[in-house]
Structure 1
């Protein structure tokens, strides 16, 4: 039986656990060959463990799928390049990049240490860009050689960065907002090379969401036999469709949680004041929108 991703080659970062693992399993079940990337670190990005990536690969191959493991850090420029190159070396091409790897180091701004900021920005924002850069360079080369790709990138933003700012997550929210902006810019730049770029802002029951204050009760596992709409596996079908050749969508950010998928839009002009003179402080004080 043909799958929607038959013949596609995908790199999925952070695919050893949680949502990324479910992406990898779905992609493989739909016919894609998958590079399962996961450093295997803790929630905070510390340590490394090759186990999770290799376990997912074993599960895929046991079910007749094609997959290889990669344990490079996406925050390392050369490591990101190795992930992309591994897809090309192992499977002959790269069609899909799913940027999913992430960590948390929550703290309030006044108490946040520099390394807490840097670590989260590096894994999320730099990690997304590093992977995107090396994949884009490959697709640009293909296009210029007359082999126009039909490629897709799916980035992972968050409501914490684009819809619901969350106190204690300045680093995470800033990175995720940056990823949403990066997605829109990349969609504009890469369309000429046959590459679509979209992002999702997911909410599902993972070790990161369970570690976020206030999310535990919302993410509680349902009783046996009840529909589990917040299972990580319920995020992956949207990603699978966005990765498919049939999907025409690019430059979009979608929130996906439970039984809902919403198209998000960014900063908009909601109220404007104007003047035909040089701005005066008193005039602004009297009329500033939102004041």
Structure 2
């Protein structure tokens, strides 16, 4: 006999949920009993408007399987779009428990060829598109806590290995994804008093955004083999982080790919030296080289050398 559903009764927002990872997350939450607000603007890979509504198709999938879902097509990188996203959850289901920030697209260029518009567009959808839904959801949860109804709220942000190590040809994307990690840490520290836990994932999976990155592993697996790059592999951790079962876990970053989950450990003090007075430039350089010789070698930037 199966046990209780992990997210029974919870209301979950998933942004960028029309395809890829977001769609997998939305379906996984619904399978675990959540009522899901499926957000997707319906744009192309580069952020330009698309011809149909992928959010509505995912809602139909969820409903056909016996779940509950509603579509939201607003632009969550605008104040009104983010506010209406939260309103949709509250007006449709009367509550909000979990926010999964997932929306994004790519405009890859080497730095010397990267236009300002391409920089702004990617920072806007990834970083601002995380900040604004988080801001409006957090305002609701703070009001609930102040009224004596402290929630068991959860936020799952979507970073990337590019945000942890960098990625050649993706200066805009890498900067945005690194910014999401910083935002996650601050939000976890600020919102814990209101019953809100905030974590981030750095997933690797086969989606529209990663077709070129994982070109060598895009071939469909044999029927009996494990498809390590399927986006559905990432969703179980996202569902658990968005459930009450994850109580006590906040301010963390998890890398997840295939059947592997890794707790990522970010910047922390390594080898250090203190003269107790001002260094000369030569002294500072000699000391830096000695410290580097004692330090761990950083991970390689994706696509380098």
TM-score w.r.t. length of structure 2: 0.92
For 2:254, what is the secondary structure of its paired residue?
A: strand
Q: Which residue of structure 1 aligns with residue 189 of structure 2?
A: 188
Q: Which residue of structure 1 aligns with residue 205 of structure 2?
A: 204
- The verdict on how the C-alpha distance between 1:191 and 1:50 changes in structure 2, with shifts beyond 3 A counting, is farther
Q: Which deviations, in whole Å up to 9, do the C-alpha atoms of 1:239-258 show, x marking residues without a partner?
A: 01111111121111000001
Corresponding pairs, count: 288
Q: Which deviations, in whole Å up to 9, do the C-alpha atoms of 1:83-133 show, x marking residues without a partner?
A: 011000000010000000011011111110001100000000011000100
For 2:215, what is the secondary structure of its paired residue?
A: coil
For 1:90, what is the secondary structure of its paired residue?
A: helix
Q: Contact 1:15–1:100 (CA<8 Å) still a contact in 2?
A: yes
Deviating runs (4+, > 3 A) in structure 1?
none
Given candidates 135, 138, 142, the residue that maps to 1:136 is: 138
Q: Which residue of structure 2 aligns with residue 108 of structure 1?
A: 110
- Structure 2 matches for 1:13-92, cutoff 5 A? 13-92=15-94
The alpha-carbon deviation at position 269 of structure 1 amounts to 1.9
- Structure 2 matches for 1:246-265, cutoff 5 A? 246-248=245-247, 249-265=249-265
Q: Distance in 2 between the 1:268 and 1:111 partners?
A: 33
Q: Which residue of structure 2 aligns with residue 217 of structure 1?
A: 216
The alpha-carbon deviation at position 50 of structure 1 amounts to 4.5
Q: Distance in 1 between the 2:31 and 2:46 partners?
A: 30
Once structures 1 and 2 are overlaid, which stretch shifts more, 44-53 or 189-198? Answer: 44-53
Q: Does residue 274 of structure 1 match 2:274?
A: yes
Q: Contact 1:152–1:195 (CA<8 Å) still a contact in 2?
A: yes
Q: Which deviations, in whole Å up to 9, do the C-alpha atoms of 1:149-189 show, x marking residues without a partner?
A: 01100000000111x32111111011111101111111111
For 1:45, what is the secondary structure of its paired residue?
A: coil
The alpha-carbon deviation at position 277 of structure 1 amounts to 2.0
Give ranges in structure 2 of 5+ residues lacking alignment: 294-305
The alpha-carbon deviation at position 290 of structure 1 amounts to 3.1
TM-score w.r.t. length of structure 1: 0.96
Q: Which residue of structure 1 aligns with residue 129 of structure 2?
A: 127
